[in-house]
Structure 1
Amino acid sequence: MTEIDARTHTPAPPSPSAELRAALGEAGLSARVTAPDADAQNLVRITLLNPTDARQLARLIRTGTKRSLKAARTLREICEGYRINLPGLRVEQGRIALGPIRIDDAARLARLLDSVPQATEQPGTTADAATVKALLAHAFPQATGGGTVPVSVRESTPDLLHLGSIDARTARRLIRALQF
Structure 2
Amino acid sequence: MWRQAGVHNFLVPAIRPAIAPKRVLTTFITTIHQPGTKNRDNTGDAEAMTWKTIRLELARNREFPEGSASYGYELKAPLNPEGHLDIQAWRSNRAACKVRRFWHGEDDQEGELIHTRNGWAFSYEPGEDDDEALFKLDRHVFRQGEYVTVKEPGGEDHTFKVAEIR
Structure ranking higher in helix proportion: 1
Same fold (TM over 0.5): no
Band of TM-score, shorter chain: under 0.3
Q: TM-score, normalized by length of structure 1?
A: 0.25
Computing the radius of gyration from Cα coordinates, the structure with the larger value is 1
Q: TM-score, normalized by length of structure 2?
A: 0.27
